[in-house]
Amino acid sequence: MAKRPADEPDGNHDPLKAGQRPVQKDNGDEAGPFEDEFEDQFESEDEVLVAGVDGRPDEEREVEEKRDAMEVDQKTFIPGRDQLAAGESLSPDTSTYEMLHNLTTTWPCLSFDIIRDQLGDNRKAYPATVYAVAGTQADSRKASQNELMVMKLSGLSRMDRGKDEEDSDNDDEDEDENADPILETKSIPLPSTTNRIRAHQYPPENSSNPPNTVTATMLESSNVLIHDVTPHLTSFDTPGTMITPRQSNPLATLKMHGSEGYALDWSPLIPQGKLLTGDNDGKIFLTTGEEGGKWTPDNRPFTGHQSSVEDIQWSPNERTVFASASSDGTVKVWDVRSKSHKPAVSVKISDTDVNVISWSHQTTHLLASGADDGQWAVWDLRQWKPSTDNNNNGSISAAPKAVASFNFHKEQITSIEWHPTDDSIMAVAAGDNTLTLWDLAVELDDEESKDTAGVQDVPPQLLFLHYMDTVKECHWHPQIPGCVMATGDGGFG
């Protein structure tokens, strides 16, 4: 601001006391009032307070700001429902994540499994560490590049939410939490694309050693390979460990399937290993692990499905019982002791393919299913009645009412899994590029739960929605509460 030249002292001013304004004397008998150049704008202190920061009332300024503001975030964007305009992209709200990392691999890995480790249960410290196995889907012209990937992901830090000044003294303590992620891998060559992979652990002969870990991989070629990945996992934490080519050879190559398949599950109750595999011909085979590392398949399949077997789940509490889902729209429950190899229960639950199922390990009479029409549901198996077919052909019954059913997703359900310790929490992946988390404990008649911030057609049980391109599989980490890992065309998240 320009300075005013100082007036020449003329000796006509009286001495001033603190807070007084100068008064110019004239030649008359009376002194005129001081002329305030701001008098026309503010006549009183009260008027200054009303005028606001720019000389206008706050209400007037706020109306103008709203009128001129860009229309941003005026509508909640729901992937799978809403479409991005040209030039638009989605980015996650990182304030809603405790941890978020992305990993890109050379070839997509559309199936994976998380390996339990020796770092402890219910752990909440950061950075986190995750062990996993995955199978690749290399381009058909480069099938020789397919591999089984044994992975260790470490240095997985929590989200950086910024620090207050009072936290500056803890910088040294938080340094490890903010470490950069590290990916270590061991590769096992595979002759074909992986359709599905699952891991199984059993106790070691020496209790001081970590558990033995084997994997079963269903290939596009219809073969099932069983590998021992224990040395590969051990090598991550034992410097100098060398993996010999022989250790990467399969323990067994199972060739009983006449077509490729996607259904695969290990029994959680049989340590030596019992493996179920289902194919596109509707056949299910049982393979049993024996002493000496031998794997023996039963060449007589379980039959009853009229189309491809999409998923299989062993019962979490009955050693001989399993369930299967099929593109014929049914879920069937079986007992491996049955000499007929026919289902004990067969229920039609969808007019489309039933792609995935998940059996609750906490409430063992609950089974969740996900179908091709985007609907997923929870069923009470106590309401499913055994077949009354005298010929034991597994007659199909109409499904009783589901315990819960949701049609929020508008594309096929590709993965579904119960939370490992909370029987009300569910993770669901779908073809609309979303992974959602649900809380079935939310009551439908709870007025507070009905508040969805004005977003239409959103069930109150929906906890969280994460966008992930072409997400195919999701799994909860059994030892890190709230941690979900998923895979799709764009890699892991």
Q: Is 244 helix (H, G, I), strand (E, B) or coil?
A: coil
* The amino acid at 140: S
Segment 382-402, tens digit of pLDDT: 999 886 654 445 578 777 899
Prior bond of 127 cis (ω within 30°) = yes
Q: Across-strand partners of 135?
A: 111, 148
Euclidean distance between CA atoms 257 and 385, whole angstroms: 30
Predicted confidence at residue 48, as pLDDT, reads 45
Segment 201-212, tens digit of pLDDT: 999 988 888 899
Cβ neighbours, 10 Å, residue 457: 9
> At 8, is the pLDDT very low, low, confident or very high (cuts 50, 70, 90)?
very low
Tokens of 301: 């399949």
Residue, of 53 and 190, whose pLDDT is higher: 190
Predicted confidence at residue 4, as pLDDT, reads 43
- 237's enclosing H/E stretch is helix 230-237
Question: For all residues of the chain together, what is the average pLDDT?
Answer: 84
Q: Is 423 helix (H, G, I), strand (E, B) or coil?
A: coil
Task: Find out whether 219 and 194 touch, Cβ atoms under 8 Å.
Answer: yes
Closest to 182 (Cα-Cα) out of 236, 134, 230: 236
Segment 102-125, tens digit of pLDDT: 998 999 999 999 999 999 999 999
Predicted confidence at residue 44, as pLDDT, reads 45
Predicted confidence at residue 46, as pLDDT, reads 45
DSSP at 385: P
Euclidean distance between CA atoms 489 and 469, whole angstroms: 7
Angle value at C-alpha 152, between 356 and 469, nearest 5 degrees? 45
Q: Is the pLDDT score of 279 beyond 80?
A: yes
Q: Is the pLDDT score of 136 beyond 50?
A: yes
- Alpha carbon 454 to its chain centroid, in Å, reads 25
Average pLDDT over residues 479-489: 95
Beta carbons within 8 Å of 309's beta carbon, 6+ residues apart: 261, 262, 263, 278, 279, 280, 282, 283, 284, 324, 325, 326
Predicted confidence at residue 445, as pLDDT, reads 58
Q: Is the pLDDT score of 461 beyond 80?
A: yes
Beta carbons within 8 Å of 355's beta carbon, 6+ residues apart: 310, 311, 325, 370, 371, 372, 412, 413, 414
What percentage of residues in the chain have a pLDDT greater than 70?
Answer: 77
Residue, of 270 and 172, whose pLDDT is higher: 270
Cβ neighbours, 10 Å, residue 26: 9
The model's pTM is: 0.81
Predicted confidence at residue 446, as pLDDT, reads 55
Reduce the secondary structure of the chain to three states and give it as a string: CCCCCCCCCCCCCCCCCCCCCCCCCCCCCCCCCCCCCCCCCCCCHHHHHHHCCCCCCHHHHHHHHHHHCCCCCCCCCCECCECCCCCCCCCCCHHHCCCCCCECCCCCCCEEEEECCCCCCCCCCCCEEEEEEEECCCCHHHHHHCEEEEEEEEEECCCCCCCCHHHHHHHHHHCCCCCCCEEEEEEEECCCCEEEEEEEEECCCCCCCCCEEEEEEEECCCCEEEEECHHHHHHHHCCCCCCCHHHHCCCEEECCCCCCCCEEEECCCCCCCEEEEECCCCCEEEEEEECCCEEEEEEEEECCCCCCEEEEEECCCCCCEEEEEECCCEEEEEECCCCCCCCCEEEECCCCCEEEEEECCCCCCEEEEEECCCCEEEEEHHHCCCCCCCCCCCCCEECCCCCEEECCCCCCEEEEEECCCCCCEEEEEECCCEEEEEECCCCCCCCCCCCCCCCCCCCCCEEEEEECCCEEEEEECCCCCCCEEEEECCEEC
Task: Find out whether 310 and 333 touch, Cβ atoms under 8 Å.
Answer: no
Tokens of 383: 């309401």
Beta carbons within 8 Å of 183's beta carbon, 6+ residues apart: 103, 151, 152, 153
Tokens of 192: 């074909």
> At 95, is the pLDDT very low, low, confident or very high (cuts 50, 70, 90)?
confident
Closest to 464 (Cα-Cα) out of 41, 145, 78, 53: 78
Residue, of 27 and 60, whose pLDDT is higher: 60
Residue 221 buriedness (CB in 10 A; 0-12 / 13-18 / 19+): middle
